[in-house]
Amino acid sequence: MSKENHQTPSMETLVSLCKRRGFIFQSSDIYGGYQGFFDYGPLGVELRNNIKQAWWQDFVHRRDDIVGLDSTIIMHPRTWEASGHIGGFSDPMVDCKESKLRYRADQLFIAPVKLNGELAGYVAFMEDTDAGEILKRAKKVRDAKGDKQAEIDVDALAERTEFTEVTEEQRLATLGPDASAAGTLTEPRDFNLMFETKVGPLSDSSAVSYLRPETAQGIFNNFNNIVDTARVKVPFGIAQIGKAFRNEITPRNFIFRSREFEQMEIEYFIAPDADWQQLHRDWIDACTDWLVSIGIPRDQIGEDVHPQEKLSHYSKGTTDLSFEFPHGEQELWGIACRGCFDLTQHQEFSKKSMEYFDEGRKQAGQEPFKYIPHVIEPSLGVDRTLLAVLTAAYTEDEVPNDKGKPEKRVVMKFHPRVAPYKAAVFPLLKNKPELVEAARKLYKKLQRRWPVFWDESGAIGKRYRRQDEIGTPFGITVDFDTIEKDGTVTLRDRDTTEQVRVSEADLFDYLEAKIDGE
Amino acid sequence: MSKENHQTPSMETLVSLCKRRGFIFQSSDIYGGYQGFFDYGPLGVELRNNIKQAWWQDFVHRRDDIVGLDSTIIMHPRTWEASGHIGGFSDPMVDCKESKLRYRADQLFIAPVKLNGELAGYVAFMEDTDAGEILKRAKKVRDAKGDKQAEIDVDALAERTEFTEVTEEQRLATLGPDASAAGTLTEPRDFNLMFETKVGPLSDSSAVSYLRPETAQGIFNNFNNIVDTARVKVPFGIAQIGKAFRNEITPRNFIFRSREFEQMEIEYFIAPDADWQQLHRDWIDACTDWLVSIGIPRDQIGEDVHPQEKLSHYSKGTTDLSFEFPHGEQELWGIACRGCFDLTQHQEFSKKSMEYFDEGRKQAGQEPFKYIPHVIEPSLGVDRTLLAVLTAAYTEDEVPNDKGKPEKRVVMKFHPRVAPYKAAVFPLLKNKPELVEAARKLYKKLQRRWPVFWDESGAIGKRYRRQDEIGTPFGITVDFDTIEKDGTVTLRDRDTTEQVRVSEADLFDYLEAKIDGE
């Protein structure tokens, strides 16, 4: 994937900017934080809402074949029996009997510790542990053997085995990541990722319910309701945006994998004999185009085709759109062809027919005209999209300061469609009432239409810079020419820093075209 | 409260229309439903989004003193210790040992059963049970006494006592609402309304966490973060929209009291010595105006001032805006003056200072300039607002049909700002390609800007009627004059059914003014 001039920022850089400027805070900060949960501050919530609204506008409002839905987070628990989540939505976990800590077995690895060429045991470590730390642990194994002079085979330490594949003998000879002696790690066992709760006044097993781990099942649940009430004909889609919850054992990489997150999902229903490969391709293209429309450069979007042998038995094919996140190239948007698995399962568990009666096919004499539709599922996380938008927008460059001297600048190059504030209005000087009054009037007028920012304090260059860092695409300065001459204002472009003078009418037209599109 | 020509529809009427037209379904319908949970269908989700966006636009984007926030549903559990929810957020409950059913004690009543003038026991019933049903239960008490001819004192049956106030003697002589013999109801005991779950891999008490029962505490939690990162000065507010959960014992009245719901809350921070009565009044007025702006008639909004003796110890005053719902006049918007209780509690529990440093007061030599702000809290439910909007919009009238004969019509008079579809586009005839093509072109152009509906099938009067029932404010018909003469279209007003001819440019201006406001 070529990236041209773009330099992916480090996660640390992004986390720090997000906290400093009020995009994202860790949840329950004052209580020491809460692992895997994040709050969106004043700028973050705007960015988030803009991403969600742009998605809804393009995939629901501007299409004729997709309708929306908002189903509950807590659903009838039979839903999760039908979907397979109660039986199978789990990660393999390993406990440390000594430290009482727990690890995901597929993220835990062991390496052999060889002393003077002889195997002396194993060390366990998480996949992102660095070589220095692994060596330190290996020295612990050596010291426990009583020979502090023995030579450790450093090459052998690079021979990793995933913990899901270790033998019992190896496991018992392994020093856990947080243990002081070998043999404290248990065999991996399954841990369901759904959050459990109890609904209703009773506290027995009949009350057990779950927070949804995905929004998709609320769509399948409502398939009949929507066919019966909305004017939809296969092929058609149902779109939903909403929170989902997964009790991740090791939430990490900032908002990339958190325990509470939000999804934007579509279930697109097609006939069983439709050309699903072509429709799948169309969806991959539509999703890519949408990412580009909110400012993700096309050359930073990759396609990752899941190999046939890794697909679920019911799946015909899945392609992920990937993105170069600060922690590496990772899945952003999964576009799966799920066959008719989900509707069939719900039909079986609910005893309600999920068959669709295809009037058009019947009239055309085409068989079958009663069928359970197949489905293409483009599934995207709001939080991951937001992280991609932040990553793509982050830019460091040099621009001249008020004195014409080049100065380092941090600028978030958000697409105007998703930028938290669309413009900032500045009176050139704070202590000239007539300037302030004219600027204020324009500000209030703009504010009827878009979120805009008011700033009257400090040198104008400094005010520009503040807006650059929060990604406001346009700076509008009201100066003496505005009030004494022709009413024009200075319009400054965030990315190029170029300035032009425009009339008020032109200003509104220009902003409208840039923000809302042609 | 005068209502002029408006007739409040019955809940049954609304529920039926909502299900039939795809506004609202019960959750998990195919599994027999799930009590206290509701899904919003294609039209419901649009109405819901429009309500949320109108609120956000007016209270966040168009004001200079309020910023937004989106905090998590699951927060650090200390939050709920500090807020008092772990200790005190409960309802008194009564169990029936025979039927195993559970009742809210403050919604359960007893009445004495007097046979030939002598007290023979009591019957228990829910507050909305009708007199006929109560008499039936009283007969059960009489029959159990063996004297089927004894006369029941009907007046005595109207003497209700709330179950929270019954004596033990009365309780043991009471026939429960679903019991066959007296004495099966337990004493009331407290039942916490928060949904509990466990976070992280461990399953012990350290993992216990809660789904938030209100969005407010996420705001208090983030007070310092926002003061530090956003440019806010007291008085200022933090606004949040998000889901909240309460394990209601008896969820009821459709979406009025459900277990999963959504709130729109503002915490507006003021100085301790501010004129809170005036600011409270300003908020009551601002909230009323906003309801009017989304189509709730001003004369259907009441004000309910909570009596001093019913306020919490820290509360200075609360006024509810009420509305005439199908099940009676009930709270819609609570506007509470909560003093500095919440921030003080979080300061105590987190050991983090919640003091605000007031630069302006310091410079003016005004004491105190370091203080914990007081707060005014306007708290509104999305679902209740939606129920109010549905109730206010529902209208039955008579309009002439295609043949000029008066016909009963159901019309949802949604304000254009919140209507799911803003307009519908109709080619006059389906089988004239040039009409369809011209209409389609206009439709696609409108769709870039607003959600609009396309309908080409059936007589034009019937098509209008379909849109009336889902509340589409404008019908646009493309006819032969459009394509053969001047390009004008027919614009039909949903409420008056009046039609005018307009040019395309005028059409866009007209819709923009009606939908987005001047």
Taking residues A374-391, report their average pLDDT: 98
The maximal CA–CA distance of chain A, rounded, in angstroms, is: 88
Interchain CB distance below 8 Å, B41 and A102: no
Q: Which residue shows structure tokens 């990490």?
A: A252
The ipTM (two decimal places) reads: 0.90
Spell out which residues of chain B touch residue A71, defining contact as CB-CB under 8 Å. Answer: 27, 39-40
Averaged pLDDT, B261-269: 98
Q: Considering CB atoms only, which of A22, A34, A64 is closest to B229?
A: A22
Q: Are B195 and A197 within 8 A, CB to CB?
A: yes
Q: Do B61 and A260 touch (CB under 8 A)?
A: no
**pLDDT computed for residue A87 by the predictor:** 84
Residue from A16, A45, A217 to probe the interface with B (highest B Cβ count within 10 Å): A45
Whole-angstrom distance, CA of residue A428 vs CA of residue A457 = 9
Residue numbers in B near A39 (CB within 8 A): 69-72, 218, 221-222, 225
Chain A residues 235-274 within an 8 A CB cutoff of chain B: 243, 245, 247, 249, 259-260
Searching chain B, which residue's CA lies closest to the CA of residue A261? B72
Average confidence score pLDDT of chain B:
94
Q: How confident is the model at residue B373 (pLDDT cuts 50, 70, 90)?
A: very high
Instruction: Spell out the SS3 assignment of A216-262.
Output: HHHHHHCHHHHHHHCCCCCCEEEEEEEEEECCCCCCECHHHECCEEE
pLDDT at A4: 40
Instruction: Spell out which residues of chain A touch residue B195, defining contact as CB-CB under 8 Å.
Output: 74, 197-199
Higher pLDDT: B103 or B320? It is B320
CB contact under 8 A, B76 and A21: no
Query: Which residue is associated with the tokens 């983090």?
Result: B352
What is the model's pLDDT at position A3? 36
pTM of the entire predicted model: 0.90
Alpha carbons A55 and A48: distance in angstroms, whole number: 11
pLDDT at B5 over 60: no
**Residue A40 CB burial class (10 angstroms; 0-12, 13-18, ≥19):** buried
pLDDT tier at B456, thresholds 50, 70, 90 = very high
Nearest to A394 by CA among A12, A13, A51: A13
Q: What is the mean pLDDT of residues B387-410?
A: 92
Q: If you average pLDDT over residues B385-402, what whole number do you get?
A: 94
Confidence tier at B4 by pLDDT (50, 70, 90): very low
| pLDDT tens digits for range B220-234 | 999 999 999 999 999
The pLDDT of residue A204 is 75
Residues in chain A with CB shorter than 8 Å from the CB of B226 are 22, 41-42
Task: Specify the amino acid at residue A174.
Answer: T
Q: Is B31 on the interface with A (CB under 8 A)?
A: yes
Straight-line distance from the first to the last Cα atom of chain B, in angstroms, rounded to the nearest whole number: 30
Query: What 8-state DSSP symbol labels residue B234?
Result: S
Tokens representing residue A513 in the block? 């075209």
A346 touches B: beta carbon within 8 Å: yes
pLDDT (average), residues A305-322: 91
Closest alpha carbon to B211 in B244, B181, B252: B244
Instruction: Test B447 with A201 for CB contact under 8 angstroms.
Output: no
Q: Is B134 on the interface with A (CB under 8 A)?
A: no
3-class secondary structure, A6: coil
At which residue do the structure tokens 């068989």 appear? A367
Torsion angle (degrees, nearest 10) of CA A270, A59, A335, A260: -120
Average pLDDT over residues A191-196: 92
| pLDDT > 70: percent of chain A | 98
Chain B residue numbers with beta carbons less than 8 Å from the beta carbon of A44 are: 70
Question: In terms of DSSP bridges, do strands A370-371 and A374-381 run parallel, antiparallel, or are they unpaired?
Answer: unpaired
pLDDT tens digits, one per residue of B168-205? 999 999 999 999 999 999 999 888 899 999 998 777 78
**B235: preceding bond cis by omega (within 30 degrees):** yes
Tell whether B463 is within 8 A of chain A (Cβ). Answer: no
Q: Tell me whether residue B207 is exposed, middle or buried, using C-beta atoms within 10 angstroms of its C-beta: 0 to 12, 13 to 18, 19 or more.
A: middle
Is A451 touching B (CB cutoff 8 A)?
A: yes
Q: In this structure, are residues A468 and A448 in contact, taking their beta carbons and an 8 Å threshold?
A: no
Touching B: A residues 472-511, CB under 8 Å: none
d(CA B30, CA A98): 48
Q: How confident is the model at residue A250 (pLDDT cuts 50, 70, 90)?
A: confident
| A117 burial via Cβ count (<10 Å: 0-12, 13-18, 19+) | exposed
A67 touches chain B (CB under 8 A): yes
Q: For residue range B200-252, what is the model confidence (pLDDT) as tens digits?
A: 877 778 899 999 999 999 999 999 999 999 999 999 999 999 999 999 988 88
Using CB atoms and an 8 Å cut-off, which of residues 352-391 of chain A contact chain B?
A: 352
What's the CA gap between A378 and A59, in Å, rounded? 11
Cα separations in angstroms, A487 against A216, A430, A497: 53, 18, 22
Nearest-Cα residue of chain B relative to residue A18: B229
β-strand pairing of B236-245 with B260-270? antiparallel
CB B426 within 8 A of CB B476: yes
- Contact criterion met (CB < 8 Å) for A45 and B37: no
Nearest alpha carbon to residue B46 among B374, B414, B518, B305? B414
Helix/strand/coil (H, E, C) string of B51-86? HHHHHHHHHHHCCCCEEEEECCCECCCHHHHHCCHH
Whose CA is closest to A210, among A192, A199, A221, A196? A196
pLDDT score for A5: 53
A503/chain B closest Cα distance in angstroms: 21
What is the average per-residue pLDDT within B139-149? 90
Rounded CA gap, A229 and B45, in Å?
A: 14
Residue B39: its chain A contacts at CB < 8 A?
A: 69-72, 218, 221-222, 225
Q: Give dist(CA A442, CA A436) in Å, integer.
A: 10
Q: For residue range A47-98, what is the model confidence (pLDDT) as tens digits?
A: 999 999 999 999 999 999 999 999 999 999 999 999 999 988 888 889 999 9
Looking at residue B486, what DSSP letter applies? S
**Per-residue pLDDT for A333 more than 90?**
yes
Tokens, residue A67 = 């309708």
Min CA distance, B116 vs chain A (Å)? Answer: 39
Q: Do B197 and A197 make contact, defined as CB atoms within 8 angstroms?
A: yes
C-beta pairs of A327-332 under 8 Å, 24+ apart in sequence: A327/A11, A327/A253, A327/A256, A329/A1, A329/A302, A330/A256, A331/A304, A332/A291, A332/A301, A332/A380, A332/A381, A332/A384, A332/A385, A332/A388
Residues 216 through 235 of chain B touching chain A, CB cutoff 8 Å: 218, 221-222, 224-226, 229-230
A25, A75, A76 ranked by CB distance to B225: nearest: A25
Question: Which whole number is the average pLDDT over A267-289?
Answer: 97
Question: Which of B25, B45, B76 is the closest to A225 by Cβ?
Answer: B25
- Choose among B346, B348, B358, B345: nearest CA to B270: B358
Distance of CA B302 to the CA centre of its chain: 15
Number of DSSP helices (H) and strands (E) in chain B, helices first: 16, 27
The overall average pLDDT reported for chain A is 94
Average pLDDT rounded to a whole number, residues B129-158:
92
Q: What is the largest CA-CA distance in chain B?
A: 88
Q: Does residue A518 surpass a pLDDT of 60?
A: no
- pLDDT score of B89 more than 90: no
Split at pLDDT 50, 70, 90, the class of B2 is very low
Are A45 and B260 an interchain contact pair (Cβ–Cβ within 8 Å)?
Answer: no
Separation CA A7–CA A389 (nearest Å): 14
| B403 close contact with A: CB closer than 8 A | no
What is the C-alpha to C-alpha distance for residues A51 and B241, in angstroms, rounded to an integer? 16
Are residues B74 and A34, on separate chains, in Cβ contact within 8 Å? yes
Put simply, the answer to whether A28 touches B78 (Cβ < 8 Å) is yes
B5: CB partners within 8 A, 6+ apart: none
Query: Position B149: which residue type?
Result: Q
Residue A320's alpha-carbon distances to A312, A377, B38, B105, in angstroms, are 15, 11, 32, 54
Instruction: For residue A424, give both structure tokens.
Output: 């900032």
* pLDDT given for residue B6 in this prediction: 65
Kindly report the backbone phi and psi dihedral angles of residue A337, in degrees, each rounded to the nearest multiple of 5, phi listed first: -100, 105
pLDDT higher for B3 or B491? B491
- If DSSP codes are grouped into helix, strand and coil, which group holds residue B454? strand
**Residue whose entry in the numeric block shows the structure tokens 């937001």:** A386
Report the residue from B41, B191, B221 with minimal CB separation from A226. Answer: B41
Q: Is the pLDDT of residue A202 over 80?
A: no
